[in-house]
Amino acid sequence: MIIFFIPSFTVGGAEKIYISIANSFVKKYHVKILSLNRNGPLINLIDKRIELISFDVKRVRYSVKKIINYVNINKPEIIYSPHRHANNLIGFCSFFFKYKPKIIFREANSYKELYLKYNLYQRIFFKTILKICYRRCSKIIVVTKQIENELVNNKLINKNKIIYIPNPTIPNNFKDLSLEKFDKELMNIENENFFINIGRLHYQKNHLSLINIFYKLKKMNNNIKLLIIGNGNKKKEILEIINKKKLDKDVIIIDYTSNVFKYLKKSKGLLLTSLFEGIGNVIIESLSVNTPVIAYDTLDNNLKQYILSSGGKIIRPFDEEEFAIEAMQILNNSNNPSFTNTNNIIEIFSLKNNVLLYENLLK
């Protein structure tokens, strides 16, 4: 039995990727998905052949005993965990497993988060937790070489446990998805000039800078709009800034879509203002449909090369004026896009190719 531990089904790149992999595995293996609850729209993406085990708890602490008991009774051979918070939980629970399943973690976020989000004492605490829990895994998947270096340099895990696998971001039917019609509530912008941002409304994504940039863009060209796809704890604050700048008729926010490709395809560019990123799934999704990306220089070096070789721009952090000017230049040149690397990106990040690498870990 193979277990994919997906704590919840709220919108998230890691969760979506693991559902895609589980859906591929179920064609050949006995697969179950273990979750804390059934909340979130991503639950609808799960293949009907997969058994979903939900503990129906709201808080992580109520799940610990349930996870331990379930694993001890059902004895799965493999447990896949998708991200840092889930890794820590499974790592802690593993101290109480009566046998040793093969535990495979995945790390997709930069270690920089600890330095940006926490003070010195909190960093020491969380680094200690990571060291204890991460050493419980059999293997850890990293999605960039930069993350691999961070894990090794901070002595969180032995290098021989690390395996690099690109995110299987691009589904086999992405071209068909990109040609679908817009949802009804967004039909009014389908044929307009608009930029797009996709991601959690979370401090990491730095949406306040995004709104400032769009405010500057509106002064350069009044006939543009901004579509934001995402939800999170910063939504109220973001809406207040939008209203304060009188952009409420030009900035559209929707919480979720099951198909980002159709919106990326029609947009003039993806605007990414994150404080830090791991692999940045939305960047790969955007480039796969020939939509340029404008982003702050807070990304993995490989990601920056993909962006630059596909007609995008990398901006000095956090120069909002330069960002707006470069975005306007891309808008003005949108009829003559410059893409040289699309096929290579699709090959590297395809679901079809990378599922095989996940499958190799079963051996």
**CATH number of the structural domain spanning residue 90:** 3.40.50.2000
In a shared domain, residues 266 and 133: no
In a shared domain, residues 306 and 188: yes
pLDDT of residue 336: 56
In a shared domain, residues 66 and 114: yes
Task: At 196, give phi and psi (nearest 5°).
Answer: -135, 150
Within a domain: residue 236?
yes
Within a domain: residue 362?
no
Locate all alpha helices (DSSP H) within the chain, ordered by sequence. Answer: 13-25, 64-74, 84-93, 112-117, 120-134, 145-153, 174-178, 207-220, 235-244, 261-266, 281-288, 301-308, 320-332, 342-349, 351-360
Within a domain: residue 359?
no
In a shared domain, residues 44 and 96: yes
Q: What is the pLDDT along the chain (363 residues), one digit of tens a residue?
A: 999 999 999 877 899 999 999 999 999 999 999 999 999 999 999 999 999 999 999 899 999 999 999 999 999 999 999 999 999 999 999 999 998 999 999 998 887 777 777 888 988 999 999 999 999 999 999 998 889 999 999 899 999 999 999 999 999 999 999 999 998 888 888 888 999 999 999 999 999 999 999 999 999 999 999 999 999 999 999 999 999 999 999 999 999 999 999 999 999 999 999 998 877 899 999 999 999 999 999 998 888 999 998 889 999 999 999 999 999 999 998 765 556 668 889 999 999 999 999 999 998
In a shared domain, residues 238 and 299: yes
Overall number of domains in the chain: 2
Please tell me the distance from the alpha carbon of residue 348 to that of residue 251, in angstroms, as a whole number. 33
Where b means 16+ CB within 10 Å and e means fewer, 49-72 reads: ebeeeebeeeeeeebeebbbebbe
In a shared domain, residues 231 and 253: yes
State the number of CA atoms in the 13 A half-sphere of 272 facing the CB. Answer: 33
| Final residue in a domain of this structure, among 129, 145, 164 | 164
Separation in Å, CA 344 to CA 52, 63, 263, 287: 35, 42, 22, 11
In a shared domain, residues 137 and 191: no
Within a domain: residue 363?
no
Within a domain: residue 358?
no
Domain range for residue 266? Answer: 174-348
In a shared domain, residues 147 and 254: no
- Would the pTM count as exceeding 0.85? yes
How many residues does this entry show for the chain?
Answer: 363
In a shared domain, residues 13 and 132: yes
Check: CB of residue 77 under 8 Å from CB of residue 114: no
In a shared domain, residues 139 and 231: no
Within a domain: residue 232?
yes
| Final residue in a domain of this structure, among 164, 192, 208 | 164
| Final residue in a domain of this structure, among 164, 190, 208 | 164
In a shared domain, residues 127 and 185: no
Within a domain: residue 108?
yes
Within a domain: residue 60?
yes
Token pair of 290, please?
């020939």
In a shared domain, residues 213 and 317: yes
